[in-house]
Amino acid sequence: MSDKKPIYTMLSTGGSYHKNKSNTPTGTYYIQHERGNNFYNYKLNEGAEYYVSWKDHGIYLFHSVPTKPDGTVSEKEAKKLGKSPGSHGCIRLSIPDSKWLATTVPVGTKVVIKNN
């Protein structure tokens, strides 16, 4: 945003819904210290590129669309970006947008998650 004018929009995907409630917590948070170039979650059998924590120090992240065990993008999950929920609670972004966030946005930046 520049004042109240949007200058760039990122497509994103939030948490899947269970009992009419998203897995992504709503509220006001702040970017935390935890960030990196990639991760892999063996329990979920998927990973992601470029991540930044915004809640619970590494539990809730901004990160790229999911990657498979071999590191390639999950096309099925990537097609949800900006269209439908799908995460376990994190906010998914495109790889370029997640890289920008991880390399640009400082610790302490305010994050507001709303349920629209």
Q: Other CB atoms closer than 10 Å to residue 116's CB: what's the count?
A: 4
Determine whether 90 is an active site residue. yes
63 catalytically annotated: yes
| Nearest residue to 31 (alpha-carbon basis) of 102, 86, 115 | 102
Beta strands 27-30 and 21-22 are unpaired
Catalytic, out of 18, 33, 57, 90: 90
Q: Report the SS3 class of residue 9.
A: coil
Given the residues 18, 33, 57, 63, select the one marked as catalytic: 63
The whole-angstrom separation of Cα 17 and Cα 14 is 9
The catalytic residue positions are 63, 90
